[in-house]
Chain A
Amino acid sequence: MTTIAKKKKAVQMDPTDVVQDLLKKYPTKVARKRAKQIMVNEAEGASTPEMGANVRTIPGIITMRGCTYAGCKGVILGPTRDIVNITHGPIGCGFYSWLTRRNQTHAETDADENFMTYAFSTDMNENDIVFGGEKKLKQAIQEAYDLFHPKAIAVFSTCPVGLIGDDVHAVSKEMKAKLGINIFGFSCEGYKGVSQSAGHHIANNQIFKHVVGTEGEVKVGEFKINLLGEYNIGGDGFEIDRILDACGITVISTFSGNSTYEQFATAHTADLNTVMCHRSINYVAEMMETKYGIPWIKVNFIGAEATAKSLRKIAQYFDSPKLTERVEAVIAQEMPAVKEVMDDVRSRTEGKTAMLFVGGSRAHHYQELFNEIGMRTISAGYEFAHRDDYEGRHVIPEIKIDADSRNIEELEVEPCSENYNPRKTQEELKKLEESGFKFKEYAGMIPDMPNKSLVIDDLNQYEAEKLIEIMKPDIFCAGIKEKYSVQKLGIPLKQLHNYDIGGPYAGFKGAINFFTDIDRMVNSKVWSYMKAPWQENPELSATYAWE
């Protein structure tokens, strides 16, 4: 058993040495593998070196990652309130993904359906595993239908399902024909991909295939957008909606925070796709462009400045003086309150350091908020991103397809004979681009990170502890699984998968919430009370070579 000393502040260590230190204890094979996923950022260098990402987690290494099923059912379909989700499998998988704090939704009226408080499962038993569970699944679908008469039912496969060969798609199809509502299945067995990311892809593909474009009703609104890759964590979506609404921008659909079936079904009627989390959804934006002619841009509503920038970008796209004026008015109205808190907090946080190890976009977006209060991100990485999220979209053609990615169906998409409608003419697009407007552009996390910072993909428990021991950040951002071990190391942990009891952190009001929360956490006195005055000085702490 190893003990880690936390008392002594580390002297400035060269990041390359930190990397060596991280890898030192690993068996050679493991060290070699991990070395590809750990990089010292040389911002000055012309090209970024290749970042290892989206590769399998090494067995026995305690990972932050979850499974494909979790990404599919929990992340993407979790926040949609009016689809009945049935987990086909033994009880655990469904139970653990049952209504977490992540899934906030706001039904417009009490009469609106909200099935998020339910966890339906076929709760397979031994018999089903041996003889197959399709019959049970059919009955489960029938029962869910009888109880709620929902618009749609989605069926999620867990690991055993794929192995015993149950065909969830065939069952869904059969029940769809029988019941006359939309029913579709997901082959999202946990082992299918290397992380949740595979599950996002499987989920989005099926939603695109089975739901998008199935309802024709066009919402009124002059400036209509879809918000893709926004999951309404801690009510973020509510704040973004508030701002967009104030600007006069209509959100046709959100994928998938606070969403409904109808939003997905009418998503093709929007005139612009805005992408928040690039990782989990960029391919949907691409497919919608091909099929319906909707262009897409990357936006970011995390950070007050970033929010303002994103709003201006949307206004520029629609090229309407009226919209631009309104956007500027909203920014002018919201900013002073943000600035006031920002300046106050900054006086106490300036120069402090942060580490961020979260999902597929948050580790990047939240650096904005830390910058705004003068805090430096010294190390960051994603839990389940791909190379393009680190290095930028230009590397996409170079990414090798391995067995795990081949598992995920690539949809062949063509322009829709009825609904294809290019939103801008070639000239308009060209004009926008000439003025510096960038479509489908995401440069990744690395270019935005400080020189000599450490970029680490799929950080594990062991490395997290090491990193903290060596670099002593003032705050560490990750999830609940990491929270208590990090805090036992004397470093406060901010949850960013869900926000614990905090949030929203998006938009203008969110920025204020974030600044106050971080202020409270990094300036807490509790860490100074660790030792009782009557305790002897036990010389337990190890000393390090550089001390």
Chain B
Amino acid sequence: MKTVEPFVSTTNACKMCTPLGAAMAFKGLEGCVPFLHGSQGCATYMRRYIISHFREPMDIASSSLGEKDAVYGGKANLMQGLLNVIGKYKAPAVGIATTCLTETIGDDVPTILHEFKKECLADLNGEMPALIHCSTPSYGGSHMEGFHAAVRSMVAQLADPKTAKHRGINLFSGFVSPEDIRHLQDVFAHFGLPATLLPDYSETLDGPALEDYQNIPGGGTPLDAVRAMPGADASIEFGRTIKPERSAGAVLRDTYGVPLHSLGLPIGLRESDALFTTLETLAGCSAPRRYALERGQLLDAMVDGHKYVAGKKAIIYGEEDLVVGLTSFLSEIGIKPVLVASGGESGLLAEAVAAVTEEFPGDPPLVRDGVDFYQIVAEAEALEPDLIVGNSKGYRELARARNIPLIRVGFPIHDRFGSQRVLHLGYRGALNLYDLIVNALIEKKQEDSSVGYGYI
């Protein structure tokens, strides 16, 4: 197999920068305003990116550093910025992430926050909101590292060691869609398991049209629920490529002894089976009938649709955890993933892909981490894919250039409507993806046909 020469530069990246992930995660904490310590452009760019995907407001404050501050340090700006945000929003929490600029100049954010809490308490009439911080230089990873770093910071910095034991389960569901979050919440409720899902942006980034606008949207994981995480029965964390030092579940396990169940993102049959098995164990009861039914319906669909998908070849790209789940699912339904690519570089991708594909015969897919679209396109040349699965960013060069369908999943989806309502997880998510894939293949066939069958 031909391998593409390594480039030093990146052409059309297949990843976003670290603070974007952090801002997303902070948005899932109740009442929290994400705040980037740096110059204002980063916050503006990221807002635009996130807003275009969700079609929802997304406020990200910035300390708006200028040249002078870049030289002498951003402490004054950070303090003044926090005062303004807290004052105007009456925010119960602020999530502060650094940017490349403030990391390069070496601002010591924890110390500045410590001083802020001492010096500014009076200005805030004695009410100090929760201030959570994480270090997110973009040159140290992709947006997923930022996402996990923020989740871990929320847990590490908010957890109350004195929490009494309780029956709850902590759920770290990763970078998934609002629809996925809602589905997971239903699943837990049906199992009778009280869950604290972090981060929960199912409402903050998919809110209703309101008669009365709130400048901090409702929803989000309650602060007190995060504080009580050390008392939980167990934690579940999704993502096969999270390194231990990035894992929120690991903090709770190592510091407070909360048992951790690390699972893959429950995409497709087997990864969902793993989740439901874990839930049965934790709940001490069997899965509600509706899930047995959903699983059965998924299998039924897999039988009915097999003729359309069998033997097709797919290229999958996106965040590492996401592509592992998708690879697992596509393999199950008889599609051959020929290339699994990500801009992320956890170092765990190859192993994770191997784990979900080893039971299938034939060559394992080509796995490429730390790549950009230029390299993915170059690899694709020889692979003759029938289908592309990933976000909007691969549309032009991968799908359109070959006239093959792109199944839009994950983030960002900037060229379709309803991105926040794409369901990927659980049996139901698998069914949804399955329908999308089969229909895309049918449509392609239909369009390519000279006859124009209305019965396929």
Contact = CB atoms under 8 A, between A and B. Distances in A.
A interacts with B: yes
Contact of A488 (B51, B78, B210): B210
B385 interface: no
B51 to A, nearest CB: 6
A192 B67 contact: yes
Nearest to B70: A191
B262 interface: no
Interface in A390-428: 403-404, 407
Contacts of B297: none
Interface residues of B, number: 77
B250 interface: no
A28 to B, nearest CB: 11
A97 B57 contact: no
Given A3-B212, A60-B35, A160 B45 contact: no
Interface stretch (B97-105, B277-285, B307-315, B446-454): B97-105
A164 interface: yes
A139 interface: yes
A367 to B, nearest CB: 25
Contacts of A118: 11-12
**Size range of the chain A interface in the assembly:** 35 or more
A129 interface: yes
A95 B16 contact: yes
A438 B99 CA distance: 48
Contacts of A117: 396-397
A70 B55 CA distance: 22
A128 B9 CA distance: 12
Interface in B198-256: 207, 209-216
Interface stretch (A86-94, A272-280, A321-329): A86-94
B191 interface: no
Interface in A450-493: 461-462, 465, 479-481, 483-485, 487-490
A159 B70 contact: yes
Contacts of A26: 88
Nearest to B59: A62
Given A59-B81, A65-B40, A95-B16, A530 B63 contact: no
Contacts of B90: 1-2
Contacts of A462: 88, 215
Contacts of B38: 159
Contact of A92 (B17, B62, B83, B89): B17
Contacts of A407: 67
A60 B212 contact: no
B104 A129 contact: yes
Contacts of B65: 191
A357 to B, nearest CB: 14
A521 interface: no
Given A27-B84, A59-B77, A163-B70, A123 B13 contact: yes
Contact of A60 (B42, B66, B85): B85
Nearest to A479: B48
A70 B78 CA distance: 22
A489 B214 CA distance: 9
B100 A90 contact: yes
Contact of B212 (A4, A25, A68, A125): A4
B372 to A, nearest CB: 8
A156 B46 CA distance: 19
Nearest to B46: A96
A67 interface: yes
A447 interface: no
B84 A60 contact: yes
B212 A6 contact: yes
Contact of B104 (A30, A96, A164, A484): A164
Contacts of A56: 64, 66
Nearest to A96: B45
B318 to A, nearest CB: 14
B160 interface: no
Interface string A481-516: 101110111100000000000000000000000000
Scoring B81, B82, B85, B209 by chain A CB atoms within 10 A of each residue's CB, the highest score goes to: B209
A26 B89 CA distance: 11
Interface string A235-271: 0000000000000000000000000000000000000
Given A27-B84, A67-B40, A191-B70, A92 B61 contact: no
A136 B10 CA distance: 11
A518 interface: no
Interface string A55-66: 011111111111
A120 B87 contact: no
Contacts of A194: 66
Scoring B62, B87, B211 by chain A CB atoms within 10 A of each residue's CB, the highest score goes to: B211
Contacts of B105: 163
A60 B34 CA distance: 10
A459 to B, nearest CB: 14
A465 B215 contact: yes
Nearest to A489: B213
B100 A66 contact: no
Contacts of A66: 40-41, 44-45
Contact of A4 (B8, B64, B68, B215): B215
Contacts of A525: none
A121 interface: yes
B148 interface: no
A91 B142 CA distance: 9
A178 interface: no
Given A60-B35, A63-B44, 12 more contacts: A59-B62, A61-B88, A91-B15, A122-B10, A139-B9, A140-B8, A144-B9, A189-B67, A194-B66, A485-B59, A540-B211, A541-B211
Pairs of residues from A and B, 3 with the lowest C-beta to C-beta distance, nearest first = A67-B41, A92-B17, A60-B81
14 contacts: A60-B88, A61-B84, A67-B39, A92-B18, A92-B20, A93-B17, A126-B139, A126-B140, A129-B100, A136-B9, A159-B100, A159-B101, A191-B65, A462-B88
